[in-house]
Chain A
Amino acid sequence: MKMSGAHVVLECLRQEGVKHIFGFPGGVLLPFYDALYDCQDIEHILVRHEQGAAHMADGYARATGKVGVCLATSGPGATNLVTGITNAYMDSIPMVAITGQVRTAVIGKDAFQEADITGITMPITKHNYLVKNPEDLARVISEAFHIARTGRPGPVLIDIPFDVNKQIIEWDPSTYPKKVDIPSYRPNIRGHEMQIRKAAQVIAEAERPVLYVGGGAISANAQKEVTELAERCNILVTTTLLGKGAIDETHKLSMGMLGMHGTAYANHAVNNCDLLIAVGARFDDRVTGKVDKFAPDAKVIHIDIDPAEIGKVRFADVPIVGDVKLVLKELLKHVQPRPWSEWNDQIMEWKKLFPLIYPKDGKLYVEYIIDQIGEATNWNLIMATDVGQHQMWAAQYFKCRKPHHWISSGGLGTMGFGLPAAIGAKVACPESTVVCISGDGSFQMCTQELMTASVYELPVISIICNNHSLGMVRQWQDLFYKQRFSQTSLEASPDFVKLAEAYGCVGIRVEKPEEVRPAIEAALKVRKKPVVIECIIPTEENVYPMIPAGESVSEMKQRTDLEELKASLNTDSEAWSFSEEDKVLSEYVEEAESVQTP
């Protein structure tokens, strides 16, 4: 068959099962967009800025586990993808980014809109390609998808010059490689059997074990195995920011998130454990704080598909390189049931001593907003976030019940990620409720994508938690820089309701707690328009608990009004559902205690 390079690319994407591409055209992509004009099987989402395209592909991938695809033209188009690609790289998200490049004949001659994007993206991609010959397109695309989705997933960039897209070649689509084998790339997915047996033994011997689960468990789709291990051995589970959803967070064995803004009980548990079972997690500095004082008495079992993560930050007593799901399945063949322990009681005690709690004083708090969203949807929604205080509150209070329901920029901490990521998730899962939690700072970094959501009639709900400041930086200035609030005030902000309306969205403003629920209920009923809910929240609120950067659990800062709030729990039963939770818990403990060690 005779066809252009661009047609070859589209056919390859079709064979990879790609249904959506997020992109923006440009000069060198004209042959590609011309071929796309006739393409029935792939929907192209026209974004308003290439950064949005990359984040949408990222959100799409996080919501589905499939490879997200974005597309940009040469030069500025390609460089605008850079933040989004880095974001995907830091969080190990499978993505294929396709960029146009100037004609092969003028590469290296500073041609119009030329940028060395393979050079630029070398440190931020798992791999990248410059295709100089159209005959190589099919091989390169099949390799790119294979590399992006296997092993430790990550973004792969393919740079295609104008003439390579335009040239007509003879190609038979049935020759597209069904299976890819790259001799120099064969990730080890099955854990070493000896090490797995050893892990089972170490678990059996441990007195105070804790499961520490990261994004690797989400990529490996290992929720079932994580939960089964936790239940069988009665081990409480804490997840990283990216590991949210690796266990249903309404489960009694879930301790929520650990780390800098993690729950106090998760951090105390990790600090005092004698065995830390790290599953698809990488001992990030936002988790460990001071490495020497992180889980100081613990042996470590470290399960990860990337051998380079093992021993990078913390020595692993039992290193296991392999796919988290496969390793856990194998491990489950060897571990014996363990009864509910005194150690677990101790953690439950910490949970009572240091609950996640916020005041009910008539002011509007993000914690309350998240609770209300959860109640309105029975916690069955995809929540995307931007970066900052609202992100941490959302991470603390959103009870993520399923993998792929939590979409947040972890490693790179990219403000502006939330809205486009939510749009990508909504494109991938049109039946799911998708809510983006954002702040007034973050939201203004990719606001233009409201137009994309509007045009494609995507009812994504954006909640802008407007504290009229760059809250997280302000918090650090408040705590560590003597309240010298340098350049963190966003007192002058746009009228977000009018802004939403200007983009063809529904805009709602909420200023009091009692207005939150009706606004959410109203937003959930909107079928064909994006909704923006601006919530005016206090400027002075800080996120607690907090372990300052580079410190350990002993330096953890709690709310100053923690004891007062706990006292009010006992008198005001409506204020907090803790007592009810406690009852269910006691039932669980009874059940768990009946498990006898063999």
Chain B
Amino acid sequence: MAIGNLMMTQLEHHHVLTALVENHPGVLARMAGLFARRGYNIESLTVSVTEDPAISRMTIVVAGDSMVLEQITKQLNKLIEVIRVVDYAELPSVQRELALIKVNAEPRDRSEIMQIVEIFRGRIIDMGERTFIIEVTGGSEKLDKIRELLNPYGIKEMVRTGIIAMARGPRTA
């Protein structure tokens, strides 16, 4: 199970699933265990509470063909605490991810970096003597792209939240 390894190449067959689950202790372990023992590969997994504090929402990015996806969805639904699973491949949705990137920022490079950040509508949220921390949100491709552009300056550390998704229009999960 490789979490958070969102390379472009692996995104080709990725699916975004959302599972609404009872907010019980151990439910994350059940989900993770299921993925591990059935041999499904999670690319990212995010968990948080929803508008209803009794219910958590997990957004899972997985790789696989439609057969695999069908099995994953059915197996997830079998977990007693899983209320509903939605595959966002089937409906129009917005998908967002947030990244924090700590990048080397020598005085001579600063203005260039700031321009890149601006183009990507990111923000510099920490400025040290030789580093910036950049916050940027968007789809996964956008985050991959800014990472690529910042790479030459030397990325010291990066963290990404994994994708969260929501259906467009009045439809809810």
Contact = CB atoms under 8 A, between A and B. Distances in A.
Contacts of B26: 118, 122, 130
Contacts of A307: 74, 77
Given A147-B80, A184-B83, A185-B80, A308 B29 contact: no
Nearest to A184: B83
A412 B26 CA distance: 26
A598 interface: no
Contacts of B33: 122-123
A468 interface: no
A122 B22 CA distance: 16
A182 B78 CA distance: 13
B75 A184 contact: no
A147 B81 CA distance: 12
Contact of A306 (B22, B78, B83): B78
Contacts of B22: 184
A308 B40 CA distance: 15
A311 interface: yes
Contacts of A119: 29
A551 B77 CA distance: 33
Contacts of B80: 126-127, 147, 182, 184-185
B13 interface: no
Nearest to B81: A184
A311 B78 contact: no
Interface string A50-64: 000000000000000
Interface in B113-148: none
Contacts, number: 34
Interface in B79-95: 80-83
Contacts of A311: 67, 70-71
A594 B74 CA distance: 46
Interface string A171-196: 00000000000111100000000000
Contacts of A2: none
Interface in A307-328: 307-308, 311-312
Interface string A182-217: 111100000000000000000000000000000000
A235 to B, nearest CB: 29
B37 interface: yes
Interface in A292-339: 306-308, 311-312
B156 interface: no
Nearest to B75: A308
A184 B78 contact: no
Nearest to A308: B74
Interface residues of A, number: 17
Nearest to A152: B78
A184 B77 CA distance: 9
B75 A183 contact: no
A122 B82 contact: no
A306 B79 CA distance: 12
A184 B82 contact: yes
Interface in A103-132: 118-119, 122-123, 126-127, 130
A505 to B, nearest CB: 41
Contacts of B75: 308
A122 B29 contact: yes
B144 to A, nearest CB: 34
Nearest to A182: B80
A520 B71 CA distance: 49
Chain B interface secondary structure, helix, strand, loop or mixed? helix
Contacts of B37: 123
B76 to A, nearest CB: 9
A6 to B, nearest CB: 24
B81 A308 contact: no
A306 B67 CA distance: 16
A111 B110 CA distance: 56
A311 B72 CA distance: 12
B78 A183 contact: no
Contact of A183 (B34, B67, B74, B83): B83
A307 B71 CA distance: 9
Contacts of B29: 119, 122
Nearest to B33: A122
B30 A308 contact: no
Contact of B71 (A122, A184, A312): A312
A180 B109 CA distance: 65
Interface in A238-273: none
A182 B74 CA distance: 18
Given A122-B29, A122-B33, A123-B37, A308 B83 contact: no
Contacts of B77: 307-308
Interface in B56-80: 67, 70-71, 74-75, 77-78, 80
B119 to A, nearest CB: 45
B78 A308 contact: yes
A312 B22 CA distance: 26
B117 to A, nearest CB: 43
Nearest to B26: A118
A183 B74 CA distance: 17
Interface string B3-43: 00000000000000000011000100110011001000000
A130 B25 CA distance: 10
A122 B30 contact: yes
Contacts of A130: 26
A184 B67 CA distance: 24
Contacts of A306: 78
A118 B29 CA distance: 11
Nearest to A312: B71
Nearest to A127: B80
A312 B75 CA distance: 10
Contacts of B83: 183-184
Interface string A141-155: 000000100000000
Contacts of A312: 71
B77 to A, nearest CB: 7
A183 B84 CA distance: 10
Contacts of B67: 311
Closest 10 CB pairs of A and B: A308-B74, A184-B83, A127-B80, A185-B80, A307-B74, A122-B33, A123-B37, A308-B75, A308-B78, A123-B33
16 contacts: A119-B29, A122-B26, A122-B29, A122-B30, A126-B80, A182-B80, A184-B22, A184-B80, A185-B80, A307-B77, A308-B74, A308-B75, A308-B77, A311-B67, A311-B70, A311-B71
Given A123-B33, A306-B78, A308-B71, 10 more contacts: A122-B26, A122-B33, A123-B34, A126-B80, A147-B80, A183-B83, A307-B74, A307-B77, A308-B77, A308-B78
